[in-house]
Structure 1
Amino acid sequence: MKETDNYSNLAPLYDKLMENVDYESWADYIDEIIQEHHPEAEKVLELACGTGSVAISLEELGYYEITAGDLSPHMIEVAKEKASKVDSAVQFKTLDFLNINIEDEFDVIFSVFDSVNYLQTESEVKIMLDECRKLLKEDGLLIFDFSTPLNSMEAVDHLNNEEAEVKSLRFFRTSEYDAINKIHTNTFEIEQLSEDKKEIISSFKEVHKQRIYSLEEMLSILKQTPYHLVAKYGDFDLIDADENSARITLVLKCQKHL
């Protein structure tokens, strides 16, 4: 079975994979954080936007100018198609948050659904933070969430052996968490089926590895950067996060010109 780049073959299946995620509520949560800490914000950049559901929902609120990027051109293609169906004004671009090639400045940059966990090392996290610093306006906010060991330990059982089908595509997922090295691996076996779904025309495999960070580890990384912590929220609420939070959202500011 041929192994392919992350989201190259999974992109058409992604919305099925995430069908239980309430993207509108997630967009409302990001909006709540922005209104709490930077209510004057207008220009917003989402990184690792996937198929664009959060960006589109956030833009529908009517007071943000949104650019959204993802490393996968296949995901961006799906996002653009989705946006065109609802006349969304979100500008979608292929962007790597380790090298954000865009000439603009933003009031807010955000990334959700543990995309930062795809950064495997402390060094990569610091590169991402510095790339965002270059694009933030003075007093701009950087907002991102990350998955903690608790989240992986709770999620691995229900993610393992998941399968679904969309049109002529079918996937099967296995999920395992290495608690010693803090690596969560999701492996997707994807099959392209014939029109009558009786034959497998081709098959692919995508291996998604995420480095799982504790709150202590992430705060230690931040201390090595120009950022200062504005807030740390746990599990989709404006309540202070701690080591018992499964998912943590950080709100940061930095001195831009350091």
Structure 2
Amino acid sequence: MSYEQFAYLYDELMQDAPYDEWVRFVTEKLNKYQVNGKNLLDLACGTGELSVRFAKEGFSVTGVDLSADMLSVAQAKGQEEGMNIPFFEQDMTNLEGHGEFDIIGIFCDSLNYLKSDEDVIHTFASACSHLKDNGLFIFDVHSVYKISELFIDQTFTLTDDHLSYIWNSFAGELPNSVEHELSFFVLDEHSGKYDRFDELHYQRTYPVEQYSEWLERAGFELLEICADFLDSKPQDDTERIFFIAKKPSK
């Protein structure tokens, strides 16, 4: 099965994801911190689901992702909605040529797919260089608790008529990292048989203090750290942590 087909499958698997909550959260933070513009850079945009939703809410969106196949799905999705959203194949650790934005976001814990400290540090610096003065940088990550307690050594399964998967998670070699081994079984409607394909995904997170230090080193002013789409502070059992930072005016 090609990766483009997997991208469509990904949308099906993620159809219950709280995408509207990301849009609401970002809009509320823009209002709270009085950011007037709505020019948004969606980093690691994947199949463009959030890019399209932001565009529907009046944002001027640019999407960036490392996967050409994911971007082809995103482009088709935008066209189906009658939207001319520019999508670019580029590494978010080294952005070039996009100008400056009012908001830059890395959503759906996409930052956790970066494999090293240096990748995160370079991503923060790259984002800062593409923000307007007083612009917002918003991202969410898995908590250390979620990686260590809810993922590692766990098995998840799904069984449906046309799609099933087995998802095993193991501790990675580095601290607070996890490897996901996924086997998908997808019904071929023509043959009536199931095709199998396997994926290996790696994620790593860091303590809140480490993200905060790297943000400040990149030149950001850290405004807020929130838990699970709420304005409350993260607790020991928080699963998703949001960071809201500002690029100070010169």
> Is 1:84 matched with 2:65?
no
Q: In the alignment, what sits opposite 1:51?
A: 47
State TM-score, norm by structure 2. Answer: 0.86
The verdict on how the C-alpha distance between 1:14 and 1:116 changes in structure 2, with shifts beyond 3 A counting, is same
The verdict on how the C-alpha distance between 1:105 and 1:71 changes in structure 2, with shifts beyond 3 A counting, is same
State TM-score, norm by structure 1. Answer: 0.83
Letter in 1 for 2:16: N
Deviation at 1:156, TM superposition (A): 2.4
Deviating more after overlay: 66-75 vs 169-178? 169-178
Q: In the alignment, what sits opposite 1:187?
A: 181
Aligned residues: 249
For 1:28, which of 24, 28, 36 is the aligned residue?
A: 24
Query: In 2, are the aligned partners of 1:149 and 1:214 still within 8 Å (CA)?
Result: yes
Distance 1:166 1:82 in 2: 26
Q: Cα RMSD between the aligned structures?
A: 2.9
Deviation at 1:8, TM superposition (A): 6.1
Letter in 1 for 2:244: V
SS at match of 2:217: coil
Please give the per-residue CA displacement for 1:2-22, whole angstroms capped at 9, x wherever unaligned. 9x9xx6663121112212212
Deviation at 1:204, TM superposition (A): 3.9
Q: In the alignment, what sits opposite 2:223?
A: 230
Q: Map residues 102-251 of structure 1 onto 2, 5 A cutoff.
A: 102-153=97-148, 155-156=150-151, 160-163=155-158, 171-178=165-172, 181-190=175-184, 194=188, 195-198=190-193, 200=195, 203-242=196-235, 244-251=237-244
Deviation at 1:95, TM superposition (A): 2.3
Gaps of 5+ in 1: none
SS at match of 1:137: strand
SS at match of 2:218: coil
Distance 2:68 2:230 in 1: 32
Distance 1:32 1:157 in 2: 34
Query: In 2, are the aligned partners of 1:38 and 1:141 still within 8 Å (CA)?
Result: no
Higher relative contact order at CA 8 Å, sep ≥6: structure 1 or structure 2? 1
The verdict on how the C-alpha distance between 1:101 and 1:89 changes in structure 2, with shifts beyond 3 A counting, is same
SS at match of 1:140: strand
The verdict on how the C-alpha distance between 1:55 and 1:155 changes in structure 2, with shifts beyond 3 A counting, is farther
The verdict on how the C-alpha distance between 1:164 and 1:12 changes in structure 2, with shifts beyond 3 A counting, is farther
Please give the per-residue CA displacement for 1:148-174, whole angstroms capped at 9, x wherever unaligned. 12222454289733346797x765422
Q: In the alignment, what sits opposite 1:74?
A: 69
Query: In 1, are the aligned partners of 2:44 and 2:66 still within 8 Å (CA)?
Result: yes
The verdict on how the C-alpha distance between 1:26 and 1:39 changes in structure 2, with shifts beyond 3 A counting, is same
Q: In the alignment, what sits opposite 1:12?
A: 8
Letter in 2 for 1:188: L
Distance 1:31 1:185 in 2: 33
